[in-house]
Amino acid sequence: MISTMVSNLYAAYSTVFQPLLALEHHIGLGIFAVTLAGFYSVIHWYIGDHEKIKRIEERMNEHQSKAQAAEDEQKTARHQKKAMSLQQKMMVVNFKPILVIMLVSILFFPWLRATYSPTVNMNRTSNHTYRGSLNYAGREDQLIVRNVSKPVLELRDQKAEVGESFYAVGSRWQLQKFKTDGRQAKLSLNADFLDLPFSLPLAGSAINWLGYYLLLSIPASNISRRLLGIA
């Protein structure tokens, strides 16, 4: 039941955001990253009590300065304790907008992961051959994996092993993993966004969707927060 609800939700997202997904995935995910960063900043601006946070920060900085300047260990400890208490109060004040942001992230991030880091279900059609469909932005490509001594993906005139990239449904993907139980298999892919001049153990030789998202959303968040006066 839950899996059906999730599938229906993902299908609704894909329909609503079809115009963005139809763009180059660099552009589509870039728009998602900047838009969500701005939306999160608006949530902080609208829900957060910024005047109270500012007062708490001023008092906390004051106690921290006094703790550094104090020559008496007891005074230093007292000011440090007050500064820690104020820091806890600030965390409580910030909790409400953070909770809302977490709820929004729970609604969107699993779908983004399923979109840009999909798992293709494959069925064995002969001794060492598996077939499955990759769907993205209303497009579909039939993928073939021949698993003899090692899995090799085939699509038209392309071949790719684990860790290598190939083009399908108008985008470039990296083959991450191939697992089979005999009759069926799962093919894990990652959309390639930026090539790296070296290979990393977990990331491979290209930045995946999450790295690209963070690369754009962090500066976008800083800019939008400054524009809203909540930097």
The predicted model gives 210-224 an average pLDDT of 92
Higher-pLDDT residue of 159 and 93 is: 159
The percent of residues in the chain predicted with pLDDT above 90, rounded, is: 36
Residue type, 227: L
The predicted model gives 157-182 an average pLDDT of 91
Q: Where are the domains of the chain?
A: 2-116+211-227, 119-207
Q: What's the confidence (pLDDT) of residue 199?
A: 65
| Measured distance CA(187)–CA(177) in Å, rounded | 6
Q: 121-126: which pairs have CB atoms within 8 A and are 24 or more residues apart? A: 121/184, 121/185, 121/186, 122/180, 122/184, 122/185, 122/186, 122/187, 123/183, 123/184, 123/185, 124/180, 124/182, 124/183, 124/184, 124/185
Q: What's the confidence (pLDDT) of residue 202?
A: 58
Q: What's the confidence (pLDDT) of residue 186?
A: 95
Confidence class of residue 39 from pLDDT cuts 50, 70 and 90?
very high
The position carrying tokens 């966004």 is 193
The predicted model gives 109-124 an average pLDDT of 93
Kindly tell me if the per-residue pLDDT of 203 is higher than 60: no
The percent of residues in the chain predicted with pLDDT above 70, rounded, is: 94
Structure tokens at 63: 């106690």
Residue whose C-alpha is closest to residue 171's, from 103, 115, 106, 89: 115
pLDDT, averaged across the chain: 86
